[in-house]
Amino acid sequence: MAPVGYLQLGKAGLTENFLQTLKTRFDKHRTIKVSVLKSAGREKKQIKEYSEKILEELGEKFTSKVIGFTIILKKWRKPVR
């Protein structure tokens, strides 16, 4: 299992295709870094909203952390409280 996967979030934002790609990446990676491009928005508040929406879609076995313009997503074996 590769340690870290990478994705870019562009001007289309959180589309079904992006979320599906993200879910399939977790088959091979435990941690994924999503870099938010300028065209998707560079406000901290908007990046935090993206992070929350991604977690809603992925489920309770995932956590996220926002550092700068990057969202770091991690998959756990058990649901996180």
Q: In the chain, what are the domains? A: 2-75 (3.30.110.60)
State the Cα–Cα distance between residues 16 and 20, nearest whole angstrom. Answer: 6
Q: pTM to 2 decimals? A: 0.92
Q: Tell me what pLDDT residue 1 has.
A: 63
Q: Which residues of 59-72 are buried (b: 16+ CB within 10 A; e: fewer)?
A: eeebebebeebebe
pLDDT band at residue 77 using 50, 70 and 90 as cut-offs = confident
pLDDT of residue 80: 80
Over residues 29-69, the pLDDT tens digits come to 999 999 999 999 889 999 999 999 999 999 999 999 999 99
Task: Check residue 62 and give its pLDDT.
Answer: 96
